[in-house]
Amino acid sequence: MAAQNPQLGAPGSLPAAGLIAQFHQGIHDVKTLAYPIAARGKRYSVQTGMNLNKSMVLVANFRNNLLLLTPIVILLAAPVATS
């Protein structure tokens, strides 16, 4: 995945809070975090990333379940509210 990875900036060019990037490579959604650190008086840029496919599937399933279950809950709650 390093072929598609955004260029890692120098420690001085990265924001103090880090830089988050998301990109698509082939069938994978990838999110990366680049963060400047200081160790023993030297500054470094550290970058890590993760595959988001499982997370995206979980969010899609949650969205679909919420879309289906919300009307059912509202319909079931309506007679209780009018009593």
pLDDT tens, residue order, the chain (83 aa)? 455 656 777 788 888 888 888 888 888 888 888 889 999 999 998 988 888 888 888 999 999 999 999 998 888 888 876 66
Residue pair 31/1 in contact (Cβ under 8 Å)? The answer is no
Q: Report CA 65 to chain centroid distance, whole Å.
A: 20
Note the pTM of the prediction, 2 decimals.
0.56
β-strand partners of 32: 21, 49
pLDDT for position 81: 66
pLDDT for position 65: 93
